[in-house]
Structure 1
């Protein structure tokens, strides 16, 4: 190489090196100004945005890339101080200095206090949540807010501002109002090389949770995983659930993760997992007063949020102890509110299924041992604008070798013989009696009038002898009505379900009771544990028909002073009519003992069903009218009119009128 060219190259590279050395010297000399400039910009931006004073006592470099900030405070105008911290030691990204701004790579923060105060309608933090005046108005005529886009922005902002290293010492946060106090104390929070470790104590009014937090984070891949442990033997209890939902939730350990996220075509899809150990739930509508205990519950989730769309993907797998199921759920509200839900399991060992049922939820099923396999499949669809079109299908299938090997808390087959039956009201036992020949009020089914049997079947469950315990169409109608009413207004129960409810379950309308009822009915009907004939006989001998009146024989004597075999069609239809509300039996009569006019339609309906099914003759149908004569104890409770002659006269008139009204 020509020595002149070589000398030129050396000179050029030397100049470049000299330039960079000069630049580094200048940056070192003026880095304080860069820091001051950045601090001034931050303070100005904050104070222009919020009616508050943002103060930083001092800010200076302690070496090439280390900064210390002291006496930091955020004080709303005319209000209590919202935030203070003694010091922040930070390592600054050298690259950010070249860009003329300061980005922190490592933070050490000591003695920080966030104090939120609410007094009446006045707070020292409310201004943080007010919309800016320059904000564009929300378009209420077009699409709603895209929560997927919003959450994606929050996730990206949070992850992109995570420092490489964090060491917080003595962090404190509190919220104080007239009727609520929350205190959070964090002795330390450390994050180093993606590892997170912290200890937290949260006092919510009188409830204290002491927790240990450990996790990992990868900001570049938007991944985070963490575990929350109870720091003492009291576990972790969720606050305010009791006050707001009249429920209690507690657990020992919780694990969670966000494994990936993708935002495409205005939709955010997140994948991850969560697991909770020793979960305790208590809510009256779930299982009454009993605690529900789940030893281990987990979910591997795939969730998508978009414009007017919320979806739990069918790849989502839920596990309760050993039982697993894939879940699909979606809610769309673009044009109308549409809800879809699907649950599907692979074949599960029957023993795992029963052992996985949460304790406290299905008392009668606890302790069952079985062989074989079970598989469940459920589909539900509803358009909230057309509730009559509810679609619901539910199937529990068993392998050919499925068999109950041992009963647990309750022997379901006990109803095949004499057993003791306890009647409960408001969760308390009110009467216990044997169901069998030892009870003088027990009637074999062949000693009960066919008119009563046929009237009950026509009104309550016409397909009892042909279905497998469930009437899917009635259940779909019940779901539609319950959704419309917003409560358990109707159950869609078959006689099989009513029998199970009366013999084995409490009378409280809870989600757990309906599920347990369905499982027991499935066992009885699909495993042929009890014959239909026996089920109907037990049903007729235990159902309530009035004040301390249980069974057909007791009812026949109470109302009519006769044996159940002697009941005529009109008496049978009357007894059938009060089965849904036996305690309101008086409402069926006036003070003279005559059936009230609102019974006319019921007699027409049930009588017509019985005639069309050939259960009564045309002549019996034509001679049928809604009137019965009371005898026995019921008459003393119902008939209060003093002039008996008037009673006879009015009764005759009533009988003539009802024949006309029914148009037989």
Structure 2
């Protein structure tokens, strides 16, 4: 029996040795068969030629492939590499079709070229000819496009690969990108690389580490700068006239779902030491030490949506963001911001360094909560929605002022006027200034005319007039430019006293926060704010405040101003440097002022601020004296007294 077993075992061993010898002899044929199958599969899928110059075994389970290229039909070569060293699955040799377990690629060059509408890479992302045709009249579906890019990228990720000296470049008539990777390793889902990227004359040197799971479309990567320059985004300067830089970026895609021609992606991004610079944002760098976003984004046919589950964190402050854009059949924009109750110190401490100079260093107790909603259909601007609410808990209180004590305007203070970022005049706002006028020494006509024209609800609102702001947005969208501001007197005061005159997003946000604090914490009374406003606003060439303006134009005290003079002074507040355009060379008010007088006078009559008799006697004419007359009246035969008469038509009060 033993002998039979030994004989059978020996026979089996001999058979296996024979099989191994046969496989060893014919493995080159198996390798050639496998390569032919790969080439056929690739060339059937893409309009391109895959060329492999030579392939041979160098030991039992190792193969070297040389002179590999991938060339689209009639276009420039897309990829070449000198050699690929591959480890072969020994079991796959027995099956007659070789499977490569690990790849080592040396000196690879990916070269993308574009000239006009012709390029050598777009074919990789196109659907097959058997796919359903796309209705291009509906616009481009970016969800479908991005889904195709993601799937193509993930489907071509190898299990194990080691690139040495991998190079990629993109070149078009107006753009060039050059990427060099001394190494790139992918080993069972773990990715590591060193990368140098040259784009838009910006050189970035960084390391990349992370994991990738092609089966679940999951990637988690970290990018670190390994020089003092950090990581700077290219083309931001050229396209947006700004700069974006950071030290570290952590980026992940955790889930992808494509249904009904809509792509939804979920993931997270974290950035350390983010620096933003743009003239429209702020006149200096904006630094955010820590920021993160947990995002849920959907793209579809003419649709882009950031789901309300998206959470943004800036330092310690968190908010949920909703944003949507639809461009067919109508352009519709939506934006929503919502926070839960947060410690006030977290809010102020999270404001980016250098962004809000007056608020730096503030300490507060209690909690804050914010909510904002914006919606506009560009075909129905009258139905625009804008709501903004910042709420404070009952125990909210400022414990310590930062760079600026917002209560300084309760007493005398030194005010500096700036133009184009440069100081042009400095004066004291208080009794020690001979041109200072207490509010009770300023004509009621001037006070009422300014309130009527600039901020009718001043004494009833808390610093903001949402309807006025909504109407300003509508007007600006209709005009296609910044044509109307919607600022209240409180906002104008804060802008003049505490902020620069540069029109940046940061200034508007800081303005809103300061106004909210002054009004909601009752830091300054309404009368005092109005009094300061009347003493600092510009009314002409180096003319600031009601007393200076009264003397400059009419040679009288502000308490002596009549209704005609008050309405004229009110009319030039929006553009004080254009004061001369209100008069002809004889010193007479131009005819176009008649409409303004009818408008303001009619509203004042309706509100009981002037009598019917005063309204009937109102006409757009004033008498100039002093310095203003010397500058405005240039006609050689101008009379000392004007006798021009104007008829002020009766106005239906319902018009206002």
- TM (norm. structure 1) is 0.89
**2-side partners of 1:216 and 1:131: how far apart?**
27
**1-side partners of 2:555 and 2:32: how far apart?**
104
Out of 43, 53, 56, the position equivalent to 2:52 is 56
- Residues 433 and 528 of structure 1: CA distance in aligned 2, closer, same or farther (over 3 Å): same
- Residues 54 and 153 of structure 1: CA distance in aligned 2, closer, same or farther (over 3 Å): closer
Give the 5 Å matches for 1:59-208: 59-62=55-58, 66-74=62-70, 82-91=78-87, 104-116=100-112, 125=120, 138-141=134-137, 143-175=138-170, 181-208=176-203
Aligned to 1:158, the other structure's residue is in SS state helix
Deviation track 1:503-537 (CA, whole Å, cap 9, x = no partner) reads 11111111111111111000000000000000000
- Residues 240 and 594 of structure 1: CA distance in aligned 2, closer, same or farther (over 3 Å): same
1:41 aligns with 2:35: no
Do 2:598 and 2:648's aligned partners in 1 also have CA atoms closer than 8 Å?
no
User: What residue number does 1:477 align with?
Assistant: 471
**2-side partners of 1:663 and 1:301: how far apart?**
55
User: What residue number does 2:4 align with?
Assistant: none
Give the 5 Å matches for 1:136-285: 138-141=134-137, 143-175=138-170, 181-285=176-280
Q: CA RMSD in A?
A: 3.1
User: What residue number does 1:5 align with?
Assistant: none
Do 2:125 and 2:149's aligned partners in 1 also have CA atoms closer than 8 Å?
no
Out of 382, 397, 409, the position equivalent to 2:391 is 397
**1-side partners of 2:154 and 2:345: how far apart?**
45
Aligned to 1:69, the other structure's residue is in SS state strand
Name which of structure 1's ranges 365-374 and 180-189 shifts more when overlaid on structure 2.
180-189
How big is the shift at 1:365?
0.8
Do 2:369 and 2:392's aligned partners in 1 also have CA atoms closer than 8 Å?
yes
**1-side partners of 2:181 and 2:600: how far apart?**
70
Out of 636, 643, 662, the position equivalent to 2:630 is 636
- Residues 93 and 417 of structure 1: CA distance in aligned 2, closer, same or farther (over 3 Å): farther
Do 1:255 and 1:276's aligned partners in 2 also have CA atoms closer than 8 Å?
yes
Name which of structure 1's ranges 153-162 and 545-554 shifts more when overlaid on structure 2.
153-162
- Residues 22 and 92 of structure 1: CA distance in aligned 2, closer, same or farther (over 3 Å): closer
**1-side partners of 2:380 and 2:169: how far apart?**
47
How big is the shift at 1:479?
1.9
Do 2:30 and 2:96's aligned partners in 1 also have CA atoms closer than 8 Å?
no
- TM (norm. structure 2) is 0.90
**1-side partners of 2:90 and 2:272: how far apart?**
45
- Residues 92 and 539 of structure 1: CA distance in aligned 2, closer, same or farther (over 3 Å): farther
User: What residue number does 1:365 align with?
Assistant: 359
How big is the shift at 1:171?
1.3
- Residues 95 and 593 of structure 1: CA distance in aligned 2, closer, same or farther (over 3 Å): farther
How big is the shift at 1:37?
1.6
Aligned to 2:180, the other structure's residue is in SS state strand
- Residues 662 and 302 of structure 1: CA distance in aligned 2, closer, same or farther (over 3 Å): closer
Do 2:30 and 2:98's aligned partners in 1 also have CA atoms closer than 8 Å?
no
1:515 aligns with 2:515: no
How big is the shift at 1:633?
0.9
1:416 aligns with 2:406: no
Aligned to 1:469, the other structure's residue is in SS state coil
How big is the shift at 1:572?
0.4
How big is the shift at 1:149?
3.0
**2-side partners of 1:209 and 1:100: how far apart?**
46
**1-side partners of 2:583 and 2:96: how far apart?**
91
User: What residue number does 2:340 align with?
Assistant: 346
Do 2:412 and 2:431's aligned partners in 1 also have CA atoms closer than 8 Å?
yes
User: What residue number does 1:505 align with?
Assistant: 499
1:655 aligns with 2:645: yes
**1-side partners of 2:26 and 2:337: how far apart?**
63
**2-side partners of 1:330 and 1:127: how far apart?**
29
**2-side partners of 1:99 and 1:473: how far apart?**
76
**1-side partners of 2:263 and 2:80: how far apart?**
36
How big is the shift at 1:544?
0.6
1:300 aligns with 2:298: no
How big is the shift at 1:219?
1.6
User: What residue number does 2:587 align with?
Assistant: 593
**2-side partners of 1:68 and 1:463: how far apart?**
82
User: What residue number does 1:7 align with?
Assistant: none
How big is the shift at 1:261?
1.7
Name which of structure 1's ranges 208-217 and 30-39 shifts more when overlaid on structure 2.
30-39
Name which of structure 1's ranges 423-432 and 516-525 shifts more when overlaid on structure 2.
423-432
**1-side partners of 2:213 and 2:415: how far apart?**
61
Aligned to 1:70, the other structure's residue is in SS state strand
**1-side partners of 2:127 and 2:219: how far apart?**
32
**2-side partners of 1:663 and 1:471: how far apart?**
26
Do 1:144 and 1:307's aligned partners in 2 also have CA atoms closer than 8 Å?
yes
- Residues 102 and 392 of structure 1: CA distance in aligned 2, closer, same or farther (over 3 Å): farther
Do 1:272 and 1:302's aligned partners in 2 also have CA atoms closer than 8 Å?
yes
**2-side partners of 1:405 and 1:494: how far apart?**
28
1:467 aligns with 2:465: no
